[in-house]
């Protein structure tokens, strides 16, 4: 099979990682910007080609520690940056959480979108970040959901996007829940 540069990188990745195609033959540009025809030596080659003109999600930080959180203090929140470090639009079409105590929303240009988490369907919702644009992911933790729980808590927020290399990016929060 011969793939040319105009085949969307996500298609090449899907075929490669499905196991159907383990050594694709591709015409691609090398570091000297010359067209080269030949087999790709690894999945790294495909990722580099896929990333060249694709959106790229970057989240910072990917772990946030709330420290001690008490039920009486109520809901706590923090924000993390989400940046499109790619060359085309990044489309975020789903945000999920690992537990009902944790929800998240996306803030773009100062406008906060809906909160998503377990049991909150994001079907039909999406947000777009232009290349080099940064948004805020606001993460909420409600200690009242677990009432009498005391001790360490670790939760995950998953952001789903059209990044062909990292379409499910995770952010974790940790805390020590006290009375």
pLDDT digits (tens, 9 = 90+) for 143-172: 999 878 899 999 999 999 999 999 999 999
Note the pLDDT tens digit of each residue in 22-64: 444 444 444 444 555 555 555 555 556 566 789 999 999 999 9
161 touches 106 (CB < 8 A): no
The domain limits of the chain are: 2-51, 57-178
pLDDT at 112 over 90: yes
DSSP calls for the chain? -EE-TTS-HHHHHHHHHTTS-SS-EEEEE-TTS-EEEEE--SHHHHHHHHHTTS--EEEE-SEEEEEEEETTT--EEEEEEEEE-SSS-EEEEEEEESSTTEEEEEEETTEE---B-TT---TT--EEE-TT-EEEEEEEE-GGGGTT--EEEEEEEEEEES-SS-SEEEEEEEEEEE-
Averaged pLDDT, 106-135: 93
**Is pLDDT of 18 > 60?**
no
pLDDT at 147: 77
The per-residue pLDDT of the chain, averaged, comes to 81
Nearest Cα residue to 156 out of 101, 90, 82, 84: 101
Beta bridge partners of 112: 107
Is pLDDT at 138 greater than 50 in this prediction? yes
Residue 9 has pLDDT above 80, yes or no: no
Which CATH number does 57-178 carry? 2.60.40.10
Q: Which pTM does this prediction carry?
A: 0.73
């Amino acid at each position: 099979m011969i793939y040319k540069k105009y085949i969307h990188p996500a298609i090449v990745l899907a075929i490669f990682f499905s196991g159907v195609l383990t050594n694709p033959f591709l015409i691609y540009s090398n570091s000297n910007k010359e067209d080269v025809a030949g087999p790709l030596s690894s999945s790294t080659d495909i990722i580099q080609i896929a990333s060249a003109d694709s959106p790229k999600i970057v989240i910072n930080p990917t772990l946030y520690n709330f420290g001690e959180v008490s039920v009486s203090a109520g809901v706590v929140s923090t924000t993390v940056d989400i940046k499109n470090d790619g060359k085309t639009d990044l489309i975020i079409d789903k945000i999920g959480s690992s537990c009902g105590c944790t929800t998240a929303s996306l803030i773009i240009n100062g406008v906060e979108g809906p909160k998503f988490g377990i049991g909150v369907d994001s079907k039909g919702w999406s947000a777009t970040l232009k290349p080099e644009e940064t948004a805020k992911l606001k993460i909420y933790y409600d200690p009242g959901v677990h009432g009498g729980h005391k001790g360490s808590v670790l939760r995950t927020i998953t952001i789903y996007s059209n990044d062909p290399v990292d379409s499910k990016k995770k952010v974790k929060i940790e805390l020590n829940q006290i009375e």
